[in-house]
């Protein structure tokens, strides 16, 4: 089932008298339980599209529809609430808080997302999520003691602990070696199916395409290929 739609979205940046059109009438549909890879050369507009879809910046034209609601017509606070409660984010670098343990990273996310999970159930949820990403044995570890792959697994756990509907991943394997990249991609694919997530991932690595249910290729601000 389609729960997320980008409808004829354009984005223009204005710098003085210079206008640069980064996105040019992009259409995109995302389905539950599917991992969609957004690919293309640097400057093709894929990261801009992801940030607009995620409500991190507004579109110049067009609409973003999530579960039947038009995000582009909402005010900033309304978008923030949806972003905090319904969306999860994984980036190229884990961006873990250095003075918090793995467990505390997830507790902080539950607080920030205003999660409806009861306090008495939070510890159980954390244990379950850490088991899903293979990090239960590192629950009390600090980020400085984790490998790059372990940090990214914690970042993924943090992104899904509040039970989002949509997971946005921007170059999640770019800072990892090939072996760890494949491990992370297998994990993202597995979690997408297991938790019925709608996952949109930006990647420049063509080897990662094989893990996706759908590949969307962009060039010069347009979608030039959409393949399931």
pTM score: 0.93
pLDDT tens, position by position, 193-223:
999 999 999 988 777 778 899 999 999 999 9
pLDDT tens, position by position, 44-102:
999 999 999 999 999 999 999 999 999 999 998 999 999 999 999 998 888 999 999 99
What CA–CA distance (Å, rounded) separates 33 from 165? 10
Residue with tokens 């943090």: 158
Q: Exposed (0-12), middle (13-18) or buried (19+): which is 31, by Cβ within 10 Å?
A: middle
Q: What pLDDT was estimated at residue 117?
A: 76
- What are 217-220's contacts with CB under 8 Å, separation 24+? 217/39, 217/40, 218/26, 218/38, 218/39, 218/40, 218/44, 218/45, 218/46, 218/49, 219/40, 219/41, 219/44, 220/24, 220/44, 220/45
Residue 176: pLDDT over 90:
no
What CA–CA distance (Å, rounded) separates 216 from 151? 28
pLDDT tens, position by position, 99-148:
999 999 999 999 888 777 777 788 999 999 999 999 999 999 999 999 99
What CA–CA distance (Å, rounded) separates 74 from 96? 30
Topology of the domain covering 2-227: Rossmann fold (3.40.50)
What CA–CA distance (Å, rounded) separates 109 from 162? 7
Q: What pLDDT was estimated at residue 169?
A: 95
Q: What pLDDT was estimated at residue 93?
A: 81
């Amino acid at each position: 089932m389609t729960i997320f739609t980008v409808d004829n979205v354009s984005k223009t940046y204005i710098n003085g008298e210079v206008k640069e059109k980064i996105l040019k009438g992009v259409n995109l549909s995302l389905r539950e339980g599917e991992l969609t890879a957004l690919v293309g050369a640097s400057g093709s507009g894929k990261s801009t599209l992801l940030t607009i879809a995620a409500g991190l910046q507004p579109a110049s034209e067009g609409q973003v529809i999530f579960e039947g609601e038009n995000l582009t017509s909402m005010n900033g606070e309304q978008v923030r609430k949806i972003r905090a409660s319904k969306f999860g984010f994984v980036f190229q670098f884990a961006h873990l808080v250095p003075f918090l343990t793995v467990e505390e990273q997830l507790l902080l996310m539950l607080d920030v997302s205003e999660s409806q999970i009861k306090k008495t159930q939070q510890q159980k949820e954390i244990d379950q999520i850490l088991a899903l990403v293979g990090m239960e044995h590192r629950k009390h570890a600090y980020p400085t003691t984790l490998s790059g792959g372990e940090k990214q697994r914690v970042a993924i756990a943090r992104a899904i602990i509040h039970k989002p509907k949509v997971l946005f991943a921007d170059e999640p394997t770019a800072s990892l070696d090939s072996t760890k990249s494949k491990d992370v991609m297998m994990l993202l694919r597995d979690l997408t199916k297991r938790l019925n997530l709608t996952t949109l991932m930006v990647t420049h690595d063509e080897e990662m395409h094989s893990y996706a249910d759908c590949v969307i290729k962009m060039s010069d601000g347009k979608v030039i290929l959409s393949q399931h």
